[in-house]
Homo-oligomer: A and B are copies of this chain.
């Protein structure tokens, strides 16, 4: 009853998914997934390479605050871009899986992102305190703060609503189905804010790390930092394309059919 009601309520947001996919559509599907996977792994790999090759690697000790700071860009890119991006993409990749497995994979990838974001945040907080720098003064930090807050709320609400409430499957089907588009919209917003935080953060780091004149000289390191930023932009384009296209209606349609 509840499921039927939710279907009627939200039927205007569904698009047709009744036809078999042709060769062209499967080619596009494979291309997008391959490209997204390369970019998502590549952006984190490039960040790690940059830190080891130009920034002295990682550490967490009182006498090496700069190495401790390096955890911040690495873990934030991993959390907000790589793991979150893969988590969003799973709705495209795992078409033949049972719904509950897709949801668990979605939750697991976000569970991997969670400690990255928390430790990445603590790393920069502790770095600021050690260096006696104010916290939350920059546009980057404001955007990042909103992104982290949304990520936490989304994870808590998603975990509670789409996994824990399954103990009362039938009774909560309508509620869960009505929550799907909200969860999806705020999930995309969180991802986009994470991207914006990464881009402003990379700009800050390039200027602070290389100096304004050093950055303007466009050294190899500057090119690598810019390349990380452009890769983040490319990831955002591919992931949003996936969600915006057939991926989007796939999520909505499956959610309507199986609101659990």
Contact = CB atoms under 8 A, between A and B. Distances in A.
A217 interface: yes
A220 interface: no
A164 interface: no
Main SS at interface, chain A: helix
Contacts of A12: 15-17, 19
Contact of A215 (B14, B138, B212, B241): B138
A226 interface: yes
A14 B225 CA distance: 41
Q: Quickly give the copy total for this chain.
A: 2
A222 interface: yes
Contacts of A230: 139, 142-143
A202 interface: yes
Given A11-B16, A13-B15, A139-B226, 20 more contacts: A14-B15, A15-B15, A133-B216, A134-B217, A137-B215, A137-B222, A138-B215, A139-B199, A139-B202, A139-B225, A140-B203, A142-B226, A142-B229, A142-B230, A143-B199, A185-B244, A192-B192, A192-B236, A200-B200, A207-B207
Interface of A: 11-17, 19, 133-134, 137-140, 142-143, 185, 189, 192-193, 195-196, 199-200, 202-204, 206-208, 212, 215-218, 222, 225-226, 229-230, 233, 236-237, 241, 244
